[in-house]
């Protein structure tokens, strides 16, 4: 077997694995905590709390599955994108054709969004129904080499099944958020088990209150973990995309162009684009790139500096004369 130049990044893989493990741990803790709460209060009218939890889980799964199943349609509608045929966009299709042949992947559908902000995203629940969407702004801004880098990055998202992974990862957060909300409303409007028995009035408050507290804590932790996971997925996609085309510098220059442009965009467009952020090539809301601190902890994408540093490293690995 011929040797390979494509070193994988065990550190990145380990960190991603650890993040997923922690998410699983939080999920387990969540279930156990709820179990204890209901077990403790179960004998004293905790039924309404249990009902809430089951209801929140069902709705959460439905929401997440719906988002997963119709991810392509939702994203395309939000971006007001239309699918294009090879005749309508021969250049774009040509680039994607070649990336597919290089990567041995089925060809995704191609869409163009009439947004002036330069960006791209990939979505769809499987590689068979995947869509790659680029904005008009991106097509105007980047030269073919850079465009190829961006498209290779998006194709890596498809190959890594990022829509499915992030759906499963965000499920916990959705359920926890729903539970908090339901508990809050049931308290506010006095629904559920209240008023059925004499003692319930005393007990309903703590059950719902504790469920709410657990939900808030789980939501906060899972939110941070999901964002962390999202940043790792972006780094992975950068890495795979750069290795696929053999041109990490082209991807780096596209990143600089795209993120540099972000700052100068009217706020209205930014707000419209926000729901799509997780699947975008670069986030639309990136106020101060590279600043350490809270904003980094909450962002869906790694800082520009981190992404460029990784691409530099790959470029050096590729260019090493003999290894």
Catalytic residue among 87, 136, 148, 154: 154
- Closer CB to another protein, residue 152 or residue 211? 152
- Closer CB to another protein, residue 82 or residue 316? 316
Site string for another protein, 140-179 (x = CB under 8 A): ----xx--x-------x--xxxx--x--------------
Whose tokens are 């209205």? That residue is 268
Among 31, 103, 129, 139, binds another protein (CB under 8 A): 103
Q: Has 148 been annotated as catalytic?
A: no
According to DSSP, the residues that pair with 280 across neighbouring strands are 121
**Token pair listed for 175:** 């359920």
- 318 is a site residue for another protein (CB under 8 A): yes
- 13 is a site residue for another protein (CB under 8 A): yes
Q: How far is Cα 127 from Cα 114, in angstroms, rounded to an integer?
A: 24
131: part of which helix (H) or strand (E)? strand 131-135
Tally of residues, the chain: 323
Q: Taking a C-beta distance cutoff of 8 angstroms, is the pair 137, 112 a contact? A: no
The size of the interface with another protein (CB under 8 A), counted in residues, is: 54
**Chain centroid to CA 3: how far?**
34
Q: Which stretch binds another protein (CB under 8 A): 15-23, 26-34, 71-79, 216-224?
A: 15-23
Cβ atoms within 10 Å, residue 36: 12
- 26 Rama sector, left if φ>0, alpha if ψ -120 to 50, beta otherwise: alpha
Active site amino acids: 154
User: Rule CB under 8 A: which residues touch another protein?
Assistant: 1-6, 8-9, 13, 16-17, 20, 90, 94-95, 97-98, 100-104, 106-107, 144-145, 148, 156, 159-162, 165, 232-233, 236-237, 240, 243-250, 315-316, 318-323
């Amino acid at each position: 077997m011929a040797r390979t130049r494509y070193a994988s990044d065990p550190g990145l893989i380990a960190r991603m694995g650890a993040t997923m493990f922690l998410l699983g741990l939080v999920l387990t803790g969540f279930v156990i905590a709820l179990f204890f709460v209901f077990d403790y209060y179960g004998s004293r009218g905790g039924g309404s709390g249990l009902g809430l939890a089951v209801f929140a889980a069902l709705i959460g799964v439905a929401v997440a599955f719906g988002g997963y199943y119709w991810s392509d349609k939702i994203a395309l509608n939000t971006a007001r994108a239309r699918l294009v045929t090879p005749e309508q966009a021969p250049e774009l299709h040509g680039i994607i054709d070649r990336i597919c042949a290089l990567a041995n992947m089925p060809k995704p559908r191609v869409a163009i969004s009439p947004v002036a902000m330069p960006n791209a995203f990939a979505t769809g629940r499987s590689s068979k129904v995947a869509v790659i969407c680029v904005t008009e702004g991106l097509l105007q801004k980047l030269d073919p080499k850079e465009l190829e880098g961006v498209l290779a990055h998006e194709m890596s998202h498809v190959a890594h099944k990022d829509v499915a992974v992030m759906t499963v990862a965000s499920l916990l957060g959705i359920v926890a958020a729903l539970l908090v909300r339901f508990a809050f409303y049931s308290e506010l409007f006095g629904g559920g088990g209240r008023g059925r028995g004499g003692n319930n009035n005393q007990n309903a408050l703590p059950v719902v209150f504790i469920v709410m507290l657990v939900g808030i804590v789980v939501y906060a932790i899972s939110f941070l973990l999901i964002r962390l996971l999202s940043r790792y997925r972006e780094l992975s996609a950068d890495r795979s995309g750069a290795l696929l085309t053999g041109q990490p510098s082209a991807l780096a220059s596209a990143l600089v162009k795209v993120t540099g442009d972000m700052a100068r965009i009217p706020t209205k467009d930014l707000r419209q684009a926000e729901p799509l952020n997780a699947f975008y090539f670069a986030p639309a809301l990136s106020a101060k790139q590279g600043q350490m601190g809270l904003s980094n902890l909450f962002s869906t994408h790694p800082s520009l500096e981190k992404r460029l540093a990784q691409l530099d490293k790959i470029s050096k690995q590729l260019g090493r004369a003999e290894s």
